[in-house]
């Protein structure tokens, strides 16, 4: 038995092979016999509201609901692309929404679970935008817009994000070491799992005299990526599209 983690799939109609890979993974025996499935944000390229009538949200809900109906819990932490996913979609999709920074016992180890963007504190411009879009009043205004207007707004937001990424040093967009240390201290954990940075790796380092782990999940732009966690250890694995 293993607990499986994925993040940063950025599912979008422009990359149908990745959506198909996601559906195959969630229908596979390794997921349907897992202890749990965790999705740590950016499941989609953009989420415009639980009332979106496009095909993709329905396909996602069918896949995740199938996992839950097989007896495997599905947990979701919002990322910077899908923070508008709400309880209505979560219930339809068989997912349990978790707060960013939740601590769960994962295969015998207390583990801090995050999307990871709040740890990128050196990117002050991004953090300012994040604070704005996470405000309930701002979200209510966006969700009150017609669907077509929200689609246009999301497309513009993606363009702005690409421009920011292209003009910002990679080191600024990575996590801040002190922010990581503070988060792990506050949570009282020796393991942190997150996504967002698209830099999959297992980092082991000393924190206050203890060896701790920060595990970064991979993105799904060119291929799939998942993390297996068992009582014996952790393993990052890639998933070819074919």
Q: What is the pLDDT along the chain (242 residues), one digit of tens a residue?
A: 899 999 999 999 999 999 999 999 999 999 999 999 999 999 999 999 999 999 999 999 999 999 999 999 999 999 999 999 999 999 999 999 999 999 999 999 999 999 999 999 999 989 999 999 999 999 999 999 999 999 999 998 888 777 777 656 666 779 999 999 999 999 999 999 999 999 999 999 999 999 999 999 999 999 999 999 999 999 999 998 86
Model pLDDT, residue 77 = 98
Nearest 5°: the CA angle 76, 82, 83 is 80
Model pLDDT, residue 168 = 66
Helix (H, G, I), strand (E, B) or coil at 158: helix
pTM of the model: 0.94
Residues 6+ apart with CB under 8 A from 68: 74, 94, 95
Model pLDDT, residue 136 = 95
CA distances from 126 to 14, 99, 122, 229, 234 (A): 25, 20, 9, 31, 31
Q: Could you tell me the two tokens for 91? A: 């219930």
């Amino acid at each position: 038995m293993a607990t499986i983690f994925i993040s940063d799939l950025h599912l979008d109609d422009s990359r149908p092979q990745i959506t198909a890979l996601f559906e195959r993974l969630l229908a596979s025996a390794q997921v349907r016999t897992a202890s749990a499935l965790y999705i740590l944000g950016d499941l989609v390229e953009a989420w415009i509201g639980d009332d979106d009538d496009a095909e993709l949200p329905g396909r996602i809900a069918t896949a995740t609901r199938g996992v839950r109906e097989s007896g495997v819990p599905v947990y979701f932490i919002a990322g910077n692309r899908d923070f508008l996913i709400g309880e209505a979609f979560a219930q339809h999709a068989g997912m349990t929404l978790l707060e960013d920074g939740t601590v769960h016992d994962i295969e015998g180890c207390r583990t801090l679970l995050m999307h990871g963007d709040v740890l990128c504190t050196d990117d002050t411009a991004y953090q300012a935008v994040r604070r704005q879009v996470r405000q309930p009043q701002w979200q209510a205004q966006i969700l009150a817009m017609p669907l077509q207007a929200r689609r246009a707004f999301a497309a513009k937001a993606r363009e702005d994000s690409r421009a920011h990424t292209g003009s910002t040093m990679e080191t600024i967009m990575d996590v801040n070491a002190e922010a990581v240390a503070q988060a792990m201290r506050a949570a009282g954990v020796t393991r942190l799992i997150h996504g967002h940075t698209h830099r999959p790796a297992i980092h082991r380092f000393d924190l206050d005299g203890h060896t701790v782990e920060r595990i970064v999940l991979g993105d799904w732009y060119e291929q799939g990526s998942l993390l297996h966690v068992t009582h014996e250890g952790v393993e990052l694995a890639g998933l070819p599209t074919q």
